[in-house]
Each structure stands twice: as C-alpha cells, then as structure tokens.
Amino acid sequence: MEFRPRHYSAEQEAHSLPRSRADHNPLSTPSPPSTPQSQVIVANHENNDFLDPLRGWCANVAVSNEDSPDIDYASAATSSASLSSGTVSEIPSKEWTSFKRFLMQKFPVSKMISVSSMSDVIIKSGKALDKSKKGTYSEEMNDSQKDPEDDAKVITRQEYVSQMHELKHEIMRAWHAEDRVTALKLSIKVAKLLMDTSVLQFYPTLFVLATDVMDMLGDMVWKRIRQKAECAEDGTFIGKLPENFKASDICSDAKETCNNWFCKVGSIRELVPRIYLELAILPCWRFLLDQPADNIQRLVMMTRGLADPLASTYCRLYLVHCARKLPASDKGYLVTCVNDIKILLIHLLSAKETPNIHFSGKIGLLVSLIEPTIEYIMKFIFEDASQRQAYSVFMELGLGRDRSNLSESIPCVSVVLHHLLKELPAEVISCNSVDILHLIKCSNDDSFDQCLNYRLLGFRLGESRSQLDIVISVVDEVIQVVTQYVKLDEYLKVVDAYMDIVLQNQMDNYLNTLLEGLYTRACNKEIVNDEQRILQSILLKLLYHFKDLDIIFALKHFLEILDVMYGSSRSVINMQILNMATRNDHIRDPTTIQFLFEISQSLHDDMDLANMKDDGNQQSAHLISRFIQKVDFGAEMERHLTFLVECRGAFGSINELTETLVHLSNYLATKALKDRKTLLTFVKSCIAFSEVTIPSISSQVRQLNLYLETAEVALLGGLVSHSDGLIVSAVSCLENVECTDGSRAPTDVDGILSSIRKLCSLLVMVPGNSDQVVTKIPRSILSLIHSRSWMTPRITARTFCAIILLLATLSQNKLPYHLCPTEVQNLGNDVLFFGDSSYLRELVSLSEHVLQNLLNAIEQEPSKAVRGSMALEACNCIALSFKASDDVLKVCWKLIEAAQLCLSANDKYLQSTIEYLDEQLSTSRATPAVVI
C-alpha cells in the first residue's frame, strides 16, 4: 500500500465553493423574503446540487412559522370557549368559594371544640364528651362566673364538621320530601349556631359551614319561587323567566309564597338567625320589588344590633356576599358596613376593661379573625370603582379631610385604614397623600402595626407619579416619623417602601439621611433574618436605580451597610453587584477589581460547595467567572497573570472557574505572542500556570480539552517540548476517562471523539522526536481504544479513520499546515524526515494495522444504518489516503458492498461514493500503483 500524494493548495482551490456576498444575515430572524431575489439564488445553485444548510434552515423556519399560528388559534379558541361557558354571575361565587377556603386554611382549628348547650343540634348525637371528663379542656373553659346550668360539651372538630354535613343533608332531604317547614326549622337551628363565638378560633370554620347551608336553602327557595312564577296555576309551564325580570312579571301565587318566606323568616326571635336567613333568601326580594336595595341598607342597620364583634363582622361579610347576588346597586351600604366595623373596633380597642369576658387578652387574635372580613368588603367597594367614585367613598368613610375643619383629627382604626390603603386607586392616594399620612399618624392602635401603614403608603405612592412638592412633604414627614424609631426592623420596613420614591425624585439629601439612619441602627447590632431580607430589598433598589457602581460606592455608608449583611441576602446583593459590574466590557480600575474580588470571595464563602448543582450556586460561580473574564489589566499582563494566580487561590474549589482561569491564561499567552514585544518567558509562565491548574479540575474530559488547548498555545509559541508534555498529559487524561467517570452518556463519547480528532490534527504539526518512535502518540491512542469498554464500534471506527488520515497527511512531502513562528517553521515533519524511508515505512505499517482493525470495528456495529454510513466514511477515508491499488480497491468495494446491504440504493452518500470510486479506478488504470 502506498499513500496518495496530495497537493493541498491545489485541492483547496479546486473544491472551494464559489463565494458570493449575502444580502441578509441568514442567522438573523427571517424577514419576509423578497421573493424574486431568493428565486435567483435558488436558480444559481440548482445546477451544482448543493444544499446550503443555512438556507435549508430558513425554509424550515418558514414552515414552522406557518404551523404555529394554527396551534395558537386553536388553543386560544379553546380557552375562550371555556371562558364564555362560565357566566359572569359565576365569577363572584368562585371568588367566594376560594375566599371560604382561604378562611378555613388561615384559621385552622385545634382538635377539640367546646360547644355550649345552645348548640343542641350539633351534640344531639350523644357523641359529645362531658366537659368534666375532659380535664385539660375544662381548665381553659373554667370560668368561675359560668352558670352551673351551662354544661359545655367538647367534641372534636371532625365530629362537628360531619354533624354539620349531616344537618345539611337532612335539610335537603326534608326539602325534597316537600317538608319545607322542617327544612326551615333546621336551617334556623344552623343559623343559631353562629351566635356562639365562645371558641374564637373556630368561628371562621363555623361561618363557612353554616353559610354553606344558608346558601343552599336560599338557592332552593329561589328556585321554588321561580318555578312558581314560570308556571300557571294548574302547574303547566308557561315560559322561562328572563334574567332581568321585573316584579310585575311575577304571578300573585309566586309572590304570595315569596312573601310567606319573608314572614316566616321575619318571625324568628333571635337577631342572628333572623338576619342570616333573610340574607339567604335576599335575592328573592326581586320577585316582590324592582328596587330591593333598600332592604340591604336595612339589613346593614340591623346588623348593628349584634354587639359581638366577631359575630357582627362575619354577619356583614355574609351580607356583602349575598348583596352581590342582587343586580348591581349603589355601594353606599358597604361604606356603612365599614364605618360600623370601624366604630365597633374603636369601641373594642378603647375599652379599658373589655366588655366581654371571653375577649380579654385575645384582642390580637380577635382582630386577626376580623381582618379578612374587612379585606373582603374593602376589595368589593373598590372593585371596578372609578377614580371619582373611589374618592367619594374615601370621603364618605369619614377619612377625607373636610376643608372646613382642618384642625379636627378624625379617628380611624389602623387595620381598617390598612385595607383601605391597599384597595384605594393609586391616583386617589397620590392626590390625598398628605391627608392619608395624617390619618396614619392619628391611628395608632393595637389592631395593626402603624409602621406597616406607613410602609404601605410608601408602596402605593410609588405606583403613580405625584406632584413633587407633595411627595417632598410626605417624605419629609415620614422621615421625621422614622427618625423616632429605635427598632431597626420598623425603620427598615418604612424606609424600604419610600426608597423608590426618594430615588426617583432625586431627593439626595433625604437619601443620605436615610442611609445615615440605617447605618446607625444596623451597625453594632445582630441583624435577624427578616431584617436581612428588607435590607436586601433596599440595597437592591439602590443598585437598580444607580446602575453605575462608582456612584453606589460613593454613597455614604453603603459599604458599611453592606458589611453588616451576611448569608443569602448578602449573596443576592453581591451577585447583583457582580452582575452590574460585568455588564461593562472591561473592568480596568484596580480598586474596583479589588472590591469585586472581595465580593466574589464573600460570595464564594457563602456557596454551598457540597451542592454545586444548586441553581443559586451555579449562578454565583457563573458571575464570578464572568467577572474574572471581564478583568483587563491592559498592557500589564504580568499583573493580570498574578491576578489569575490570586483567583486560583481564592476560587480553586470551583471547577467552572478553574477552567475559566486556564482559558484566560491561554488567552494571555496568545495575546503576548501576538504582541511579539513580550518575552517568551511570560508565555512560558502562562503555560506553566495552565499546566499546574488543569489537574485540579475533576472532569477528565475537560482536562483533556484544556491540555489540548494549552498544547496548541505552546505550539503557537514554538514551545515544542512544552507541547509534547501537554499532549502526553492529554493522552493520559484520555486513558483515565473511564476510571473516573463510570457510565458516560453517548454525547460525552462524541465529545471525546472530537477531542481525539483535534489531537490528531494537532499532531500533524508536532515535530517528531528522533529519540522516540514517530508514531508513539497514535499508537497509544490505538492501545487505548482496544482496552476501553466505553468505546463503541462507531467511535472506534471514526478514531481509526482519523488516525489513518493523520498518517496519510504525515507522509506528505509538504504538510498542509505548519507552526506559525518563522524561526521554527522548518521543524515540520515534512522537513525533518524528508525522504526518510524508515519514517514512511513506519507510517504505512501502522496504517495497515489500523485498516484491518477498522474493518473489524465496522462489522461490530449493530445498527444497520450506522454501519452503512460508517462503511462509506471508511471507504472515503481509505480512497483519499491511499493510492488506488487493487488491494485498496478491493477493500473499498468490500466496504461499498457492506454499505449497499445496509442502505437503500438511492442513498446520495452511497451513490456519490461509488461515483468517486469509479473515477479513482479509471485514474489508477492510467497510472498503475506501486505495490509495496
């Protein structure tokens, strides 16, 4: 066998594609194609049967673009269909369901509930335990003033709930058995349960259970009367009642029944069940009146008769829920509700000794139980309210300042104020911010933390632009307030909310005051987790606002404040700073570099090194490595290398970073080589740095690649002996791959293959060493292939091909490429071994050996398609490397036969390979090959 002589430069000229300028960047997003032009291009290329992969990609995109709108429309259609099926009226009921769930979850109930004797419906089953038997509970319930008759029972929550469900079913059964009187009587009993607020924590659950029954009853009554209205006296169906029916559409029989229901409900003695039952059937007023809203107002007033704060606020909650079932009406009653709740709370909070014994010491719990009702009502008030409406509500709540009596301070309850602030439109807040601030100042009670209201005002103010002078006066006043705060926690909460406003309006002097205040409160103090979080939010706001790190570092106390932070909050800030710093192209300032280095160090210290897969950690590592990449010392390359050494010392434990460092030192070396001014010693130290650093990387494959990269750089600098060492290291990495990484994914194997190919291409320009066999490295790769189990036949075959190509190249009289620097150019193997027959023999003998193995490897490939393409690949490789002799052609045809067995006859690769072989055959006839 003999290697085919190659004339690389001539071949390149012959085979290179004609190059033409493109009008569009084919990789940019496809713009609507200018059709005539693209047709011309296609026409041009039609004859040489060449498929431009970029153009092909464009065509694909066009197709997929056509497809996707259909999918979008389809999904949009289904979603809109599902929306339209739910009528508008269902939305509030859904909201109510989720609100009920929220209530149940927010106030979970301990296992046992004491039930007063009144709730005989619940304990009639006799399951209840006698109070005296339950010693632990009786202690809590023990009250010397309790009436001896009052024999409280204790049952489990589960029992209570199941009893309620049982009652509900009983009511339903009675109703369907036409026994509506019993159904009503049982419903009244259920409603009476709501009078019992003795177990505060249980009340929301009780409320949800009981109103469930009320809603069910109300529904059944509504349906019954509507049915009557839709039927003639003899029971025949007349027609469906329209959604917006009038009272005049209703027949007298239906009205009579409806009236009876209101009479029956009206005759209930106790206030609580009377209100609840009327609310349950409230929508039925529509059968009697066209304007049923007056009744809502009356019910609001009636609710005032409930002195128990819990019972009365929850009753209002149910009222609002039921009122929403009526057609939209004036929301004035809601304002009355809120005002009544306000008065109730003022009364509750101001009472020196609580009026009701079972609330004493539980005001906090009570307020938290009441809060959701305020929240719900407030939300509904401002739902779809225009700005003007919202303002008038604000005034009606007695909160807006009447211009006539400016001096008067209107009391408000902070918890009510809080939810008002939450729901008021931002514009109303910004227009009345001074008044609201005044209100917050005045309402300092136990129901809600005052500083949280200051905080909320700040956030709400930030939502809309307000006049600068107003903002200034508000901020000024707030700062006066917070200066009085001693607690860091409160200070932070408020300052955080106003930070955006201060920044947006460039109130620099205020910013300084705030930072100063923060510094004095935060330093020399243990900072707890919550405070860290808010501090983090404040610092992030500063960072986002100023964008420029230099300004931020110049801020008073910024660095000191940063220093008091630790843990994850600190990391978040550090990451943000790094993120900002690395947005610039270069980081040149030595102080900045030093600072960022310290930040990176602290970030590194907080990283959980045992868990590098964690997203946060990966991001930190990524940011640090980006920072290191951006650092630029310009001409001071020595200093840069020193910096890299420092970095290695600091962040050596992070693989990603070590890799970056190697890349950077290689980059430095390359840059130095390009400069040509620097001495080779610097390049050597860079390479030495890389060489020392690489082994600390855990992945063998990465090491391999880095060794190759460094070897390349060494070759670039003409440092042949360095590169020899590096290549040896690379090969030993390759040998170690298996032992370190047990089972590899197939992609990684492909990666290794490409590294091997890269190594082969490097070897072309590595001058042979006369001390050793010239094929030492290829041989060691070969031995490796045989001994490694992860080598699949496919990879093996390709490696063999690569080696054959390498050997064929080395045999040439003129190598396709050489080492760059002029002084070492002559050191190419083509020069070193020119005309050396033992050299050639060595190459040929190795290639024959490889060829044999190659054929074996192909046969071992299990997949047909892969085997076919492998055979063709090998065939091409052989035809390209060797002169066409009979031996070679025999091998080639054998491979073609193998390929024909595996691939279809139409396969283009197969066809063109056959064509190529035929061509070779004819030329070989012309110039007979010399067989060795």
Judged by the rule CB under 8 A, the positions of this chain that interact with other proteins are: 145, 147, 149, 195, 253, 256, 262-263, 266-267, 269-272, 274, 298, 301-302, 304-308, 311, 340, 343-344, 347, 355-356
Q: How many residues does the chain have?
A: 932
Angle between helices 488-504 and 529-546 (to 10 degrees): 10
Q: Which is nearer to other proteins, 373 or 853 (CB)?
A: 373
Side by side, which strands form the sheet with 153-156?
A: 112-115, 153-156, 129-130
Q: Which is nearer to other proteins, 131 or 818 (CB)?
A: 131
> What three-state secondary structure class fits 679?
coil
d(CA 281, CA 40): 78
Expressed in angstroms, the distance from the first to the final Cα of the chain is 6
Whether 827 and 720 have beta carbons less than 8 Å apart is answered as yes
Within the chain, what is the greatest distance between any pair of CA atoms? 126
Count of Cβ atoms closer than 10 Å to residue 148 Cβ: 5
CB of 118 to other proteins, least distance (A): 12
Q: Which is nearer to other proteins, 308 or 873 (CB)?
A: 308
Q: Which is nearer to other proteins, 229 or 456 (CB)?
A: 229
Q: Which is nearer to other proteins, 277 or 515 (CB)?
A: 277
d(CA 653, CA 598): 16
CB of 496 to other proteins, least distance (A): 38
Q: Which is nearer to other proteins, 350 or 837 (CB)?
A: 350
CB of 110 to other proteins, least distance (A): 25
Label each residue of 343-358 as H, E or C: HHHHHHHHCCCCCCHH
CB of 256 to other proteins, least distance (A): 6
Q: Which is nearer to other proteins, 90 or 270 (CB)?
A: 270
Q: Which is nearer to other proteins, 313 or 571 (CB)?
A: 313
CB of 114 to other proteins, least distance (A): 18
Structure tokens at 136: 């632990």
Structure tokens at 322: 């039921």
Long-range CB contacts for residues 87-91, cutoff 8 Å, separation at least 24: 89/325
Structure tokens at 696: 């600390």
Whether 648 and 655 have beta carbons less than 8 Å apart is answered as no
CB of 278 to other proteins, least distance (A): 10
Query: Token match 């009364």: residue?
Result: 347
Q: Which is nearer to other proteins, 53 or 148 (CB)?
A: 148
CB of 270 to other proteins, least distance (A): 5
Whether 422 and 456 have beta carbons less than 8 Å apart is answered as yes
d(CA 105, CA 205): 9
CB of 235 to other proteins, least distance (A): 12
Q: Which is nearer to other proteins, 354 or 568 (CB)?
A: 354
CB of 165 to other proteins, least distance (A): 27
Amino acid code (one letter) for 744: R
CB of 252 to other proteins, least distance (A): 10
CB of 268 to other proteins, least distance (A): 8
Among candidates 463, 459, 506, which has minimal Cα distance to 478?
Answer: 459
CB of 315 to other proteins, least distance (A): 10
Q: What is the DSSP letter of 677?
A: -
- Non-local (6+) Cβ contacts of 736 within 8 A are 700
Instruction: Tell me how far CA of residue 154 lies from CA of 112, 118, 130, 451, in angstroms.
Output: 6, 13, 7, 41
d(CA 83, CA 81): 5
d(CA 284, CA 307): 28
Q: Which is nearer to other proteins, 304 or 663 (CB)?
A: 304
Q: Which is nearer to other proteins, 329 or 356 (CB)?
A: 356
Angle between helices 363-381 and 332-350 (to 10 degrees): 160
